[in-house]
Amino acid sequence: MADTTAIGLHQASADQLADKLNTLLANYQIFYMNVRGYHWNVKGQHFFELHTKFEEYYTDLLTKVDEVAERILTLGHQPLHAYSDYVRVADIAEDKNVHDGEACVRGIVQGLQTLIELQRELLSLASDADDEGTASLASDYIREQEKTVWMLNAYLG
Ligand SMILES: [Fe+2]
């Protein structure tokens, strides 16, 4: 049917989901680079602990960047792949020259909060469209990142 995608979703729903996923992708890419910056720039007594932890986070973000982009392709759309587009589309702002460990951790908490909020909206759209693939991706990310927010807030005291 002309109004159905290769995986049997309504075309209009797939278009809307891909658009939301591209917004999510842009946010992941900016956030990834921010966390990479925290890994490089953090200073102080907790350097070794935070430098290592930030590497764990940005490595995980890179995996999610690829999964989100490939979900967009699975829906029959084109993932954004230029930094100029990411900066234009993302809600998360670039965070430069942050050296204080607690400020880095706060930046990560705020970034995760933005991602969680976007993914809740995505989950709701995906559920309405019977798109279980996108819904389960979003709910897995939400559950993981909610736990990370708890741990980072525990770190901040
Ligand atoms: Fe490194």
Over residues 60-102, the pLDDT tens digits come to: 999 999 999 999 999 999 999 999 999 999 999 999 999 999 9
Q: How far is the CA of 71 from the centre of ligand 1 (A)?
A: 28
Q: How far is the CA of 90 from the centre of ligand 1 (A)?
A: 25
* Letter string b/e over residues 15-24, b meaning 16 or more CB atoms within 10 A of that residue's CB: ebbbebbbbb
Cα separation, 80 vs 22, in Å, equals 6
Q: How far is the CA of 99 from the centre of ligand 1 (A)?
A: 15
Q: How many CB atoms lie within 10 A of CB 91?
A: 15
**Binning pLDDT at 50, 70 and 90, where does residue 48 land?**
very high
**Binning pLDDT at 50, 70 and 90, where does residue 1 land?**
low
Q: How confident is the model at residue 2, as a pLDDT? A: 62
pLDDT at 57 over 60: yes
Q: How far is the CA of 55 from the centre of ligand 1 (A)?
A: 7
Q: How far is the CA of 135 from the centre of ligand 1 (A)?
A: 33
Cα separation, 140 vs 132, in Å, equals 12
Output the average pLDDT for the chain: 97
What is the pTM for the complete model shown? Answer: 0.96
Q: How far is the CA of 48 from the centre of ligand 1 (A)?
A: 11
Q: How confident is the model at residue 139, as a pLDDT? A: 98
